[in-house]
Structure formats: C-alpha cells, structure tokens
Amino acid sequence: MPSLKRKVAIAAAAVVAVAGSAVTYQASAAESSPLQPPAGLKIIGQFVVGDGTQTYTCTGGRFTGSSVPEARLYDGANRKIHHFGGPTWQSEADGSLVTASPVANSPVPGAIPELLLEVKTHSGQGLLDTVTHIQRLNTYGGVAPATGCTDGEKASVPYKANYVFWGN
C-alpha cells in the first residue's frame, strides 16, 4: 500500500495533469480573451494550490474588499511556491520572488475571479526571475463570507486554483 506522502504526490501530479489540459484549452482560447498574456511569452511553470486561503477583514459590519492570500503552490516536478499578501509569489527552492497586480479578471460564480496579473517587481534569481505575467485559473471557493461581522474581525476562506507563470 502506498505511503501517505506517495498518495499526496500522485494526487498532486494528477491535478497538475488536469490543470495542464485546462491551461492548454485556455491558452488556445480566442486571442481576444482578457486573461491571455501578451503574445510571445512562454510558460515558465504551472502550479496548483495545495492549501490556500483568502483572508478578509470586516469593515462596516461586512467582509468586503480585497483579500490577503496565503497558499502553497505545487507542480509535478516537486517545485513549490509560497503565495502571500502583496500579492507576492516566492520560490521555496531558490528564494526568487515577484509581486504583481491584476490587469484583467473574469468572474466565476461562487468563487474568486480568474485573473491575469502583471509582474511589478522581481527579487533574487531562479525560477521566477523571468516571469512577467501570472494567470490564476480554475478558481474554486475563496469568496468573502456573506454573514455580518464585527469590525476588525478576520475570516480565512479556503480556495483552490491553478497558477500559470509566463515569461521570456
């Protein structure tokens, strides 16, 4: 019987394989899609959220506004990326780091929107040093609670997504 670690690795590889076919479909979608990165870029990496949350802060009795991500992203080659507020992504293998801002979004019913982000800053050398754009695709969950709350209260909501890193 396979160990738990092996089962997790097999499951992660399967999700990446599924994500890869979804990304292929997305990449072959109409050129006018607002979530398409600029022409001429290549895929640097494709990752899936293993464990992730979007954290909201209560303001005016409601969880509204921007969320702060906290997630571990995995690919089929055992590379890991830590995704956190900024929004920021950092390679756990080599420390390379990027921050990015959304340039396009597409709503997803019952989930956080899909995004195209443009990298604004780079730090370090390694996996992420040539990344210029990031897609967040196939989102699931992560939506702010609709319940009332006390100002300053925080709510962390689980989410899943695929991230595709594009660059030169």
At 64 the pLDDT is 85
Q: What's the whole-model pTM score?
A: 0.81
At 113 the pLDDT is 97
Strand partners, 115: 105, 136
At 139 the pLDDT is 98
Rounded to whole angstroms, the Cα distance separating 69 from 25 reads: 26
Strand partners, 109: none
Residue type for position 125: Q
At 136 the pLDDT is 98
The answer to whether residues 113 and 15 touch, using CB atoms and an 8 Å cutoff, is no
At 135 the pLDDT is 98
Question: Mean pLDDT, 10 residues at a time, over the chain (168 residues)?
Answer: 33 37 36 84 97 97 94 95 97 98 97 98 97 98 96 97 97
Assigned token pair, 54? 């979007």
At 32 the pLDDT is 53
At 65 the pLDDT is 86
At 37 the pLDDT is 97
